[in-house]
Amino acid sequence: DVQLVESGGALVQPGGSLRLSCAASGFTVSDTYMSWLRQAPGKGLEWVSVIYAGGSTYYADFVKGRFTISRDNSKNTLSLQMNRLVIEDTAVYYCAKDRLSGGLFDYWGQGTLVTVSS
């Protein structure tokens, strides 16, 4: 069975950094697109970043230059390095598997909470 388990969420001060991880099982992360999405408290869903099977990466404008997505094929994990965090980055962050390699998210993790506050 496909399973995604995020970790790394924490309380961090504005301007700080944090690294999120997503452990995958039941499939190989390098065989498909993998995305990070987020949901601010009481708000809707936002796509954040994707890494393609071939390794190309894309980011939403609001995180471009601050966040970096990567994967570790040997560990079958996905990561999100978040730098220069701002209060508006406060959200539950989900990793998600892409079915079509084109933005259709068929499996989601349980999410990890990132709180940016002084």
Partner 1 sequence: DIVMTQSPESLAVSLGERATINCKSGRSLLYSSNNKNYLAWYQQKPGQSPKLLIYWASSRESGVPDRFSGSGSGTDFTLTISSLQAEDVAIYYCQQYYSTPPWTFGQGTKVEI
For 67, the enclosing helix (H) or strand (E) is strand 67-72
Question: Which part of the chain contacts partner 1 (CB under 8 A), choosing from 11-19, 71-79, 83-91, 109-117?
Answer: 109-117
Site map (CB under 8 A) of partner 1, residues 38-77, x = contact: ------xxxx--x-------x-xx----------------
Residue whose CB is less far from partner 1, 32 or 46: 46
Degrees to nearest 5, angle at CA 82 with 76 and 86? 150
Q: How far apart are the first and last CA of the chain?
A: 40
Instruction: Pull the structure tokens for residue 75.
Output: 């560990």
Q: How far is the CB of 117 from partner 1 (least distance, A)?
A: 22
The residue written with tokens 């969420």 in the block is: 9
Name the residues that contact partner 1, by CB under 8 A. Answer: 35, 44-47, 50, 58, 60-61, 94, 99-100, 102-106, 108-111
